[in-house]
Amino acid sequence: MTTRASSEGHPALSDQDWGFATVDQKPEIYNPQPSRMFYVYLAMPAVLLLAAITIYPFLWLIYMSFHKVGFGNASDVFVGVKNFARLFNDSKYLQGWGLLLKYSAICLSIQVVAGVSLAVILNNSRHEKILVTLFLMPMMVSPVVAGLLFYYLYNGTFGWYHWIFQSLGILDETSILGSADTALYGIILVDVWQWTPLITLITLAGLKRVPQDQLEANMVDGAGSISNFFHVSLPNIYPFLLIAVLLRFMDNFRFIDAILALTGGGPGNATRLLPVYLFDVSFKFFKLGRGGAIALTLLIVTIILGMILVKVLEDPARKKALSGDTDG
Amino acid sequence: MVAVSFNNVWKDYGGGAIAVKDLNMEIKDGEFVSLLGPSGCGKSTSLRMLAGLEHISSGEIVFGDKVVNDLPPKDRDIAMVFENYALYPHKTIFDNIANPLKQSKVAAAEIERRVTEAAKLLEIDQLLERRPQELSGGQKQRTAIGRAIVRQPQVFLFDEPIAHLDAKLRARMRGELKHLQFTLGVTTIYVTHDQLEALTMADRIAVMNDGVLQQFGTPQEVYDNPANSWVATFVGEPQMSLMEMQVTSLEGETALAFGSYTIEVDPKNSARLRAAGKKDLLVGVRPDKATVSLDESLGSIRGEVYSRQLLGADVLVEVEIGKSRVRAKANTSFAGTVGTPCYLNFGSEDLYFFDAKDGQVIPQ
Ligand SMILES: Nc1ncnc2c1ncn2[C@@H]1O[C@H](COP(=O)(O)OP(=O)(O)OP(=O)(O)O)[C@@H](O)[C@H]1O
Ligand SMILES: [Mg+2]
């Protein structure tokens, strides 16, 4: 009887397994494998909800991009690919792409370098906890509020940053946002200020998991701390960094809040990135059909670029993931 | 290529965990020293302090005539094999082994030559393109050895470098490492908990227990003249047996009382025991110096067979006498089984004598 008592935790073991007199069928409640359909039923509400809030609007977006969308009593007119065809002659559309790519590339480069450097500094700091809390603050600020904050900092008469930049001789008379040359960098700074901490945070989490023994082995092999960072830490935090970069990349591609708060796309079209132009077309001029076409192209390019990014960066990352734990 | 010494080194991890207590050890230039001890006795900690991976709480570590307490690992010119391999998962086996050479900016052709050579020696030359996660434990361990021997450092530090190899390869690697160490003449500290490894490879063995260095001497010294009862039972396989005996006298001569028996002692040991003047002793005998038989003979001690283990060429018989158990080797033809009465015999000149109170050896 002692063996039976010890098997309490495993109800799936039938009496038969123990050689006792048996009841032929296991009781229903012991059945460890519910039918397939059971899982389908369980997932159904979530799937339906997701379909309603993502797939339906997505299909609607595709529908719009092939129509001239009417308002009020006017009905939608099917126009085929005309909405798309016209985009290629639309200089603002093409320029929007150029600005978006430039903006995104600069933001990402600065954020990765600054974010990783900060993470390394934080990781070696005794005041890590306090500093992390401080660094988190910009991320908690709503993007529009961040935009407004910088609006004051950049202000041509009393803005701090304006004054600093002018004292450094970087700016002439015009304000940062007032000049077509500098406005883009103005909004880049906002994004860097607000989102570098995200990269720092994710990288920091990665740095915590860099196996100590690899660092030690490398030091014994004759490495200093710089080599240690590039040869051991960086390859180990690569998967984390990849996720951070992907997040920021996708976010940049639909960035709009701070620009609307700061410049509204101006001066001229200097900061009219594609998402801003999309906003203008759809909700200022109410050309929902053309807006749909722009949105769709933006979405497709985002997906393609995202996949390229993953492909390019993923290889070493996947190998690292395969390796599992520290015993290498 | 450099002498290494520990001078009154302590390592306190805090929270009551003192891993190394007052370690003093002078390792000569080019010497092969084995650190032997049970798990958790502070072997790895001592090695890591030599490598500069662990701060020492007090004392000093000296390389040659230079105190290296605060020297970072990269400036100590050491090569180390880690207990858990510590390979770089994102690098190929080739790059893992080449890492120390790359760190010291050796030319590419030379790296290629040396890595291939090391890999051949370790029989991993087929695996150079793979990554660590695609290797077996033993192959990883050989890669770790390769990374250490690919360069000629001042000091080799090996932390159980061949613990995960199969018996045959282990025997071969013992020879290879010993040969390599001898030809390069590099001072080597080799941690192991396998006494066979220590006895066969080392010029001198440092036996540690519980953070304290018990004895530091040649394998022969440690085996023949253990400093205390702990070392005596730790070194030697099968283990030495200890019996509680009292010094008495028999017809005016010094003798030993063991249960109801009185054992005569040879003149040399008798003088030794008299000089020490201790009464309660732990007396040790190695299994191969004790004989067991089913027939009574002169001076034999009666006991019962407690267990019988086949060792291959002969059997190890454990004989229960009162509350002591004494191991003896016997011929495979020995017929006793558990519970059989039997007779144990040993000569007093083969015995080891320790003070029953502190376990220290009775001086010669
Ligand atoms: N980082 C640490 N913090 C606290 N205590 C530690 C630390 N490292 C080791 N110790 C303790 O110090 C003692 C010695 O450890 P060490 O690793 O040197 O043992 P070892 O002789 O190498 O054992 P093994 O043969 O199992 O490898 C152990 O009791 C261990 O628990
Ligand atoms: Mg150890």
pLDDT value for A25 = 60
- Tokens standing for residue A152: 């004051």
Tell whether A186 is covered by a domain.
yes
Q: Indicate whether A287 and A140 sit together in one domain.
A: yes
Task: Judge if the upstream peptide bond of residue A11 is cis by omega within 30 degrees of 0.
Answer: no
Model confidence band, residue B43 (pLDDT cutoffs 50, 70, 90): very high
To the nearest whole number, what is the mean pLDDT of chain B?
A: 92
- Give the closest of A219, A236, A316 to B73, CB-based: A219
Q: How far is the CA of B211 from the centre of ligand 1 (A)?
A: 9
* Other residues' Cβ atoms within 10 Å of the Cβ of residue B67: 12
- Give the closest of B74, B78, B140 to A328, CB-based: B140
**Residue found under tokens 């954020």:** A111
Give the span between the Cα atoms of A98 and A268, in whole angstroms: 15
pLDDT value for A6 = 43
The reply to whether ligand 1 has any atom less than 6 angstroms from the CB of B15 is no
Q: Indicate whether A166 and A208 sit together in one domain.
A: yes
Alpha carbon of A50: minimum distance to chain B alpha carbons (Å): 39
State the average pLDDT over residues B339-364: 93
The reply to whether ligand 1 has any atom less than 6 angstroms from the CB of B13 is yes
Nearest-ligand number for the alpha carbon of B17: 1
Q: Indicate whether A32 and A97 sit together in one domain.
A: no
pLDDT value for A239 = 84
Tell whether A237 is covered by a domain.
yes
Question: Is B164 an interface residue toward A (CB < 8 Å)?
Answer: no
Between these two residues, A72 and B42, which has the higher pLDDT value? Answer: B42
Tell whether A111 is covered by a domain.
yes
Instruction: For B144, list phi and psi in degrees, rounded to 5.
Output: -65, -40
Q: Indicate whether A157 and A296 sit together in one domain.
A: yes
Q: How far is the CA of B72 from the centre of ligand 1 (A)?
A: 21
Tell whether A328 is covered by a domain.
no
Q: Is the pTM of this model over 0.80?
A: no
Strand B204-209 to B32-36 pairing: parallel
Q: In this structure, which amino acid lies at residue B283? A: V
Q: Are A220 and B78 a contacting pair at CB < 8 A?
A: yes
The reply to whether ligand 1 has any atom less than 6 angstroms from the CB of B43 is yes
Q: Are B345 and B299 in contact (CB under 8 A)?
A: yes
pLDDT value for B45 = 94
Q: Indicate whether A177 and A37 sit together in one domain.
A: no
Query: Which residue is closest in CA terms to ligand 1's atom 1?
Result: B13
Give the span between the Cα atoms of B23 and A69, in whole angstroms: 86
Give the span between the Cα atoms of A157 and B164, in whole angstroms: 73
Instruction: For B35, list phi and psi in degrees, rounded to 5.
Output: -100, 115
CA B169 to chain centre: 20
Tell whether A133 is covered by a domain.
yes
Tell whether A56 is covered by a domain.
yes
- Give the closest of A227, A232, A327 to B85, CB-based: A327
Question: Is B158 an interface residue toward A (CB < 8 Å)?
Answer: no
pLDDT value for B327 = 95
Give the span between the Cα atoms of B362 and B276, in whole angstroms: 7
Model confidence band, residue B87 (pLDDT cutoffs 50, 70, 90): very high
Would you give per-residue pLDDT tens digits along chain A (328 residues)?
Answer: 344 444 444 445 444 455 555 555 655 666 667 677 888 888 999 989 988 888 888 898 898 888 888 777 777 788 878 888 888 888 888 898 999 999 999 999 999 999 999 999 999 888 888 999 988 888 888 888 888 888 888 877 788 888 888 788 777 777 777 777 888 888 898 889 999 999 999 999 999 989 999 999 999 998 888 889 998 999 888 888 888 888 888 888 887 888 888 888 778 888 888 888 889 888 888 888 888 889 999 999 989 988 888 887 766 545 544 444 433 3
Q: Indicate whether A287 and A313 sit together in one domain.
A: yes
Question: Is B89 an interface residue toward A (CB < 8 Å)?
Answer: yes
Q: Are A316 and B90 a contacting pair at CB < 8 A?
A: yes
Q: Which of A32, A58, A83 is the last residue of a domain?
A: A83
Q: Look up the ipTM and state it.
A: 0.84
The reply to whether ligand 1 has any atom less than 6 angstroms from the CB of B21 is no
- Taking the CA of residue B54 as reference, the ligand 1 atom at the shortest distance is 1
The DSSP bridge partners found for residue B205 are: B34, B217
User: For the CA atoms of B259, B263, B268, B271, what is the dihedral angle to 10 degrees?
Assistant: 60
Q: Indicate whether A66 and A108 sit together in one domain.
A: no
**Residue found under tokens 């017929």:** B335
Q: List chain B residues with CB under 8 Å of A216.
A: 51, 53, 73, 82, 86
Q: List chain B residues with CB under 8 Å of A224.
A: 72, 74
Task: DSSP for A135-148, please give it.
Answer: HHHHHHS-HHHHHH
**Residue found under tokens 């003896």:** B328
Percentage with pLDDT > 70 across chain B: 100
Q: Which of A44, A62, A83 is the last residue of a domain?
A: A83
Q: Indicate whether A134 and A220 sit together in one domain.
A: yes
Question: Is B136 an interface residue toward A (CB < 8 Å)?
Answer: no
Of A306-315, B61-70, B229-238, B260-269, give the lowest mean pLDDT range: A306-315
Tell whether A143 is covered by a domain.
yes
Dihedral sign computed on CA atoms, order B59, B63, B64, B65: negative
Q: Are B2 and B71 in contact (CB under 8 A)?
A: no
Q: How far is CA A228 from CA A213, A236, A261, B151, in A?
A: 12, 11, 43, 19
Helix (H/G/I), strand (E/B), else coil: A318: helix
The reply to whether ligand 1 has any atom less than 6 angstroms from the CB of B279 is no
Task: Judge if the upstream peptide bond of residue B238 is cis by omega within 30 degrees of 0.
Answer: yes
> Which of A241, A238, A239 is closest to A200 using CA atoms?
A241
State the average pLDDT over residues B186-209: 93
Q: Indicate whether A207 and A95 sit together in one domain.
A: yes
Give the span between the Cα atoms of A189 and B86, in whole angstroms: 41
Give the span between the Cα atoms of B236 and B233, in whole angstroms: 7
Q: List chain A residues with CB under 8 Å of B53.
A: 216, 219-220
**Which H or E element spans position A63?**
helix A56-65
- Tokens standing for residue A308: 């390229």
Count of CA atoms in the C-beta half-sphere (13 A) of A71 = 6
Maximum distance among all Cα pairs of chain B, rounded to whole angstroms: 81
The reply to whether ligand 1 has any atom less than 6 angstroms from the CB of B67 is no
Domain count, chain A: 2
Domain that holds residue A43: 2-83
Q: Are B308 and B315 in contact (CB under 8 A)?
A: yes
Q: How far is CA B148 from CA A62, A227, B100, B143, B181, in A?
A: 62, 18, 8, 9, 12
Question: Is B100 an interface residue toward A (CB < 8 Å)?
Answer: yes
Q: Indicate whether A160 and A48 sit together in one domain.
A: no
Query: Which residue is closest in CA terms to ligand 1's atom 25?
Result: B39
Query: Which residue is closest in CA terms to ligand 1's atom 4?
Result: B13
Tell whether A196 is covered by a domain.
yes
Task: DSSP for B76-143, please give it.
Answer: S-EEEEBTTB---TTS-HHHHHHHHHHHTT--HHHHHHHHHHHHHHTT-TT-TTS-GGGS-HHHHHHH
Instruction: For B235, list phi and psi in degrees, rounded to 5.
Output: -95, 130
**Residue found under tokens 């059971």:** A38
Between these two residues, A172 and B279, which has the higher pLDDT value? Answer: B279
The reply to whether ligand 1 has any atom less than 6 angstroms from the CB of B17 is yes
Q: Which of A63, A83, A103 is the last residue of a domain?
A: A83
Q: Indicate whether A168 and A61 sit together in one domain.
A: no
Q: Indicate whether A113 and A77 sit together in one domain.
A: no
Q: What is the CATH number of the domain that holds A172?
A: 1.10.3720.10
The residues, ordered by sequence, that sit 6+ positions from B7 with a Cβ below 8 Å of its Cβ are B24, B59, B60, B61, B62
Say whether pLDDT at B58 is over 90.
yes
